[in-house]
Amino acid sequence: MIIAEAPASPGQRILWLMNHYNAGNGRLNYPLLLRLRGPLDTGQLQHAIDTVIRRHESLRTTFGRSRGLLTQFIHEPRSQAITVKQCGPPSVPEPSEVVQAEVRSPIDPRSAPLRVTLWALAPDEHILCINAHHLVTDAWSCRVVLEELLQLLSRHPDLPRPGWQYRHFVQWQRRRATMERQKADREYWNRQLAGTRAPGLAYRAGQPPAAGAPCAETIQLDLGSEDWGRIRKTARAEQTTPFTVMLSIYYLLLHRESGDTDLAVSSPFANRVRPEVMRTVGFFANMLVLRTRLRNGSTFAHLIRNTSSTVNAALAHQAFAHFLPSAGPREDAGRRVENIVFQMLPELPPPARVGDLELSILPPGIDSRFDLEFSALPHHGGLRVLIQCSPSLPGGVGQRLAAGLGSVIGKLAAGPGFPV
């Protein structure tokens, strides 16, 4: 039963459009994937999941049109079905293949926002997948869900109030749209986006592949503690963050690949701009356009400073930074800024124990929905970098970026004063 309706947020309207052009694949899924080792009380797990869903309206919200507008339909709480599957040799494929099939299976947000699946690998080993559509969750939300599950499984039901529900945030957003601050944000982004084009990468002739095609090239690099130390040392010396240094490296690699000096990429930010939403599950993340200019003859240190200014200004105006990506057939695919993405993720939390049960997060392994995505994740004292290229890019782009990454980090050993 529907208990409330609310307009969709600007970000949700963007994702809805992306969902239309990604029909038939799971690239807009946002799964929380956990390995559970030890004795599992499935009844207690059911109660914990139901409690989390009852606390957060987004996890029981579907979407559709009402009076011509994209609308959130919030449903009353009810018990969430958990699909339990046996997953062990020799009757089924490798568990990772079975899990990936579920992770990549599309979710229809018009009928249900999430699915929950539990695989029994052994009596004392399970994999749990809470697979939600991105319309109702983001990375921050997954951490909230995990924290609440851990507390409920440890039989500590006194959870803090979530604060606002997501629809309350949307209401605040709409009220603020008439305020002076909104005008300042719009003016900033109008200036920042004027004439913006993504780096001019070469694309294959003809139309890009149909939705659902896997990444043509995926490269994973595991940088050791020495390389990660150079990045952090450079950030400290330049009074900035490792995010800014890694983004600067990405700009430099894109410059070498495209020849462009006016460089723009997109990057997701948490957009938790109100204290009332710090423990709210929902799609808050903003895709910000980060644009900077690289001067011929300048140094990498100068590029870092320009990038730092770009990031700080974008953060100051992030509350209303949503932009509508072009979708559908692409005549100029290589110049669309929303298709070239950079993100730096927080390190995955270590395994947590609840009595005799150990829970650890597993990477979901979803193909990128962008033409080129460069992701960095602190990992075991070093840095894991994932470069994903769509089939619309010619082969070799990822390999060249990976080789260039190693070269730039090597130069940082002598400091960031080298010419770009």
> Residue 245 belongs to a domain with what CATH number?
3.30.559.30
Is residue 419 in a domain?
no
Overall number of domains in the chain = 2
Among 118, 146, 167, give the residue marking a domain's end.
167
Mean residue pLDDT across the chain:
88
Q: Are residues 36 and 83 in the same domain?
A: yes
Whether residue 104 lies inside any domain: the answer is: yes
Residue 262 covered by a domain: yes
Whether residues 144 and 192 fall in one domain: no
| Amino acid 223: pLDDT | 95
Q: Are residues 316 and 403 in the same domain?
A: yes
Give residue-wise pLDDT tens across range 162-189: 999 999 999 988 887 666 677 788 888 8
224 and 303 belong to one structural domain: yes
Are residues 12 and 50 located together in one domain of the fold?
yes
**Could you tell me if 136 and 206 lie in one domain?**
no
Q: Residues 130, 211: one domain?
A: no
How far apart are alpha carbons 48 and 42 in whole angstroms?
A: 10
Within-domain flag for 173 = no
Contacts of 111 (CB under 8 A, 6+ apart): 62
115 phi and psi angles, rounded to 5 deg: -130, 150
Q: Are residues 150 and 225 in the same domain?
A: no
Euclidean distance between CA atoms 324 and 345, whole angstroms:
24
The per-residue pLDDT for 324 is: 42
pLDDT in tens, the chain (420 residues): 999 999 999 889 988 988 877 667 888 999 999 999 999 999 999 999 999 999 999 999 999 999 999 999 999 999 999 999 987 655 555 668 888 899 989 999 999 999 999 999 999 999 999 999 999 999 999 999 999 999 999 987 789 899 999 999 999 888 876 666 777 888 888 888 888 887 878 776 544 544 445 567 889 999 999 999 999 999 999 999 999 999 999 999 999 999 999 999 999 988 898 999 999 999 998 888 999 999 888 999 999 999 999 999 999 888 765 544 443 334 444 456 778 999 998 888 889 999 999 999 988 877 777 889 999 999 889 999 999 998 888 878 999 999 999 999 999 999 999 999
Q: How far, in Å, CA of 44 to CA of 24, rounded?
A: 34
Specify whether 381 is located in the same domain as 318. yes
- What pLDDT, on a 0 to 100 scale, did the predictor assign at position 217? 83
CATH of the domain at 19: 3.30.559.10
* pLDDT single digits (tens) 281-306: 999 988 889 999 998 889 999 999 99
Q: Provide the pairing of β-strand 125-133 with 114-122.
A: antiparallel
Residues 188 and 157 in one domain: no
Which of residues 124, 145, 167 is at a domain's end? 167
The pLDDT of residue 88: 65
**Per-residue confidence (pLDDT) for residue 92, from 0 to 100:** 57
Among 167, 192, 222, give the residue marking a domain's end.
167
Pair (151, 190) in one structural domain: no
Show the tokens assigned to 117. 């699946």
pLDDT recorded at residue 338: 75
**Owning domain of residue 198:** 180-348+364-414
Q: What is the 3-class SS of the chain, one letter each residue? A: CEEEEEECCHHHHHHHHHHHHCCCCCCCEEEEEEEEECCCCHHHHHHHHHHHHHHCHHHHEEEEEECCEEEEEEECCCCCCEEEEECCCCCCCCHHHHHHHHHCCCCCCCCCCEEEEEEEEECCEEEEEEEEEHHHCCHHHHHHHHHHHHHHHCCCCCCCCCCCCHHHHHHHHHHHCCCHHHHHHHHHHHHHHCCCCCCCCCCCCCCCCCCCCCCCEEEEEEECHHHHHHHHHHHHHCCCCHHHHHHHHHHHHHHHHHCCCEEEEEEEECCCCCHHHCCCCCCCCEEEEEEEECCCCCEHHHHHHHHHHHHHHHHHCHHHCCCCCCCCCCCCHHHCHHHEEEEECCCCCCCEEECCEEEEECCCCCCCCCCEEEEEEEECCEEEEEEEECCCCCCCHHHHHHHHHHHHHHHHHHCCCCEC
> In terms of Cα–Cα distance, which of 231, 235, 248, 218 is closest to 381?
231
Co-location of 21 and 160 in the same domain: yes
Establish if 420 belongs to a structural domain.
Answer: no
